[in-house]
Amino acid sequence: MRHMTDGLDARDKAARLDKMTRIFVLISLTAGLATAGFLAAGALARSATQTSATVSLRHTKLGSVLVNSKGRTLYLFAKDRSAKSACSGSCATFWPPVLVQGRPTAGPGLRASLLGTTRRSNGSLQVTYNKHPLYAFLRDKLAGQTNGEGSLAFGARWYAVSAKGLAVLKAPPATTTGYTTSTSTGYTTTGYSYGGGG
């Protein structure tokens, strides 16, 4: 009888040990995933947040456009109004705002008087140029890429920004529509409110 009880006790202990091991593994995995998520969110925030921001000009296939300190093209969002950003949440994940703590600086060829900041809904300061909040694009992996140009996302179009602080647009193919076409680049610049048909 005692031998039988010892066998049950051993199985009971093994079952409890197995259960405790599973709980420990589950807690470890949960903690590991939480840490990885925290680190990824921190890296994303650090990539968007800068203690100081320099906006410069770079020649691209669109002509000379505004870029950040890493040479990545900066865009304006046609949905923004009165220097206020209309891009937050998942929009700001794909189009990270150019954030700054302090005053941004203008590189050669840009007018410092057009450079400013606007307060975002979360309290952070976003860099503006000619009253347009500035954004990078997640799919521009290399300096000088302009993969976001003309994209329709989150309710409006996205355009690279010229030295004058205007949207850089592809010229219409064959007809003129009242825009001044630059023959050297094949692109036009226009005001912020251009949205075309959607």
The more confidently predicted of residues 165 and 12 is 165
Q: Please give the share of the chain, as a percent, with pLDDT higher than 90.
A: 57
Q: Closest Cα to residue 74, out of 2, 18, 146, 154?
A: 146
The more confidently predicted of residues 10 and 77 is 77
pLDDT-derived band at 24, boundaries 50, 70, 90: low
Q: Which residues are bridge partners to 159 per DSSP? A: 76
Res. 99: pLDDT tops 50:
yes
Q: Which residues are bridge partners to 176 per DSSP? A: none
Sheet holding 75-77, edge to edge: 75-77, 156-160, 152-153
Q: What pairing do the DSSP bridges indicate for beta strands 54-60 and 105-106?
A: parallel
Average pLDDT over residues 121-138: 97
Domain segments of the chain as ranges: 49-190
Q: Which residues are bridge partners to 189 per DSSP? A: 168
Rounded-to-integer distance, Cα 100 and Cα 148, Å? 22
Q: How many residues does the chain have?
A: 198
